[in-house]
Each structure stands twice: as C-alpha cells, then as structure tokens.
Structure 1
Amino acid sequence: MMAGDRTRERGELEGEVMQILWATDEPISARDIQDRFSGHTPAYTTLMTALDRLERKGQVQRQAESPRKVRFIPTHSAGEHAGERMLTALNNTGEREAALLQFAGNLDDADIDLLMTAFNQSTRKHKRR
C-alpha cells in the first residue's frame, strides 16, 4: 500500500471507534480502543484524529484525570444514535410519507409490536397533559 492510500472508506474508522465504545461499559483510553480493533489497527495519531472529530460532532466525551490519563465515552447509546440518524434522514427527505411507508414495509412483526407499544404509551402520556 502506498502512502496516502485509504484502508477504510470515509467515516468507517469513526464507526468502528463508536462500535468499540458502545461495547464498553466504562470510559477507555485511546490505547485500549486501539487494542480492541480486529483487522487493520489504526495508528495512534490517526485514532486520536478520529476521536477529536467525534468529540467535535458531540458523539464522544473526553474525560481527563490528567494530560496522560484521558478516557473516552460515547455521549449517546447505539440505539439513541440510530434513532437520531433515522430522524435526520426523515427530516431531510422531500418525501416523508414515502420514506415512512418504505421503512414500515420492511419491519418484521416484532418491530411492529414494539412500535405499537411505544405509540400506545406515547398517546397515553399526551392525553394526561
């Protein structure tokens, strides 16, 4: 591989970092994140750049006990992140109804039951106000 060649697609490293953070119950260091990569392990500086970008995007929070003891945690769970992405995609489409119908048409029975339960709970909360 030549200098400047990509080993990952754009955004893939950040996604892998987030998967590692979501799988961890406590704040972890960049070195610990680096050790948990399967396959190609990014250079430490590359990983720190990705963590800086994720922090600027509000997806990661940095916790520093000292300059040498920095740990990272996700600001949202994987489910919350997926929900935000779904809402963003829905809000950015000019065809909201078509997007919702396409999405709903691909849900299995368990997903539909879960959504129906959530809708019923939401409806009860709105009626109480």
Structure 2
Amino acid sequence: MTRTRERGELEGQVMLLLWENEGTLSARELQALFSEPVPAYTTLMTALTRLEKKGRVVRSGPSPRKLRFAATRSDDQHAGDSMRTALDKAGDRQAALLSFAGNLSSDDVALLRKAFGEESAPSHP
C-alpha cells in the first residue's frame, strides 16, 4: 500500500532538503534525496513550480534541462517570517505575543534577553 502525503507535506519536505543541502540542486538530485515514498519527477517539478510562485524557491540554469533550485531564505529566516506573519494576523497582537512568550523555555528567554541587551533578568526592588 502506497502512503499518500498530506496537503503541503511534499513542499515541506522539498524545503527541508533544500535547507539541508546548501547551494542549488536539480530536481533529479532532490528526488534522489527522498526516502520512501519517492515522488515522481513530474510531481516534484509541480511542487518546485508552486514553491517558486510562492517566492520560497528560485530556479536557475542555462537551459530548461539543466534547471537548479535553491531556497530563497534560510530555514531560520522562514521561521522568523512565519512567526511575524502569525503575529500580524492575530486579532489581539498583545495576547498572541504573551501566549507565545509564555511557552518559551528559560534558554529561549535568556537568548531574547541577550538579544535585547539584557544580560540577566531585571532585578526588582
């Protein structure tokens, strides 16, 4: 029995492979990196075309037979963009931000404090 992918799963797998393998890859090279089920070449090209239309992939190459693909942003940049988009769509931005912050680990909080120039938790008088 062949397992079918959930909607958007193939695009997600393609992006993970592009992020894991820096530089550009051909569709055939991408196809070889898949574990079962390996998508058909035409299915993979359809997913790559959709990702290109979404601005997540850029194609390059001297001819249609020598196309290569690369992610337009790193996985870290994509995650940051996704968080900003979700926050922008929230009905109550403050509540969404506080809900997100309430689920951060202490290491994440320390990292954010450092990014904002606070080396340790603020002291309270």
TM-score class normalised by the smaller sequence: 0.7 to 0.9
CA distance in 2, matches of 1:104, 1:67: 46
Amino acid at match of 2:116: F
Partner of 1:34: 31
Q: Give the drift of 1:67.
A: 2.2
Partner of 2:43: 46
After TM superposition, the score normalised by the length of structure 2 is: 0.88
Pair 1:9-2:34 in alignment: no
Partner of 1:22: 19
Q: Deviations over 1:23-82 (max 9, x none)?
A: 012100001111111221111111000000000110000011222111100000000001
- For the aligned residue pairs, the C-alpha RMSD in angstroms reads 1.7
Q: Which runs of 5+ in 1 are unaligned?
A: 122-129
Q: Indicate the SS of the match to 1:25.
A: coil
Amino acid at match of 1:61: V
CA distance in 2, matches of 1:36, 1:11: 18
After TM superposition, the score normalised by the length of structure 1 is: 0.85
Q: Give the drift of 1:102.
A: 1.2
Q: Which runs of 5+ in 2 are unaligned?
A: 119-125
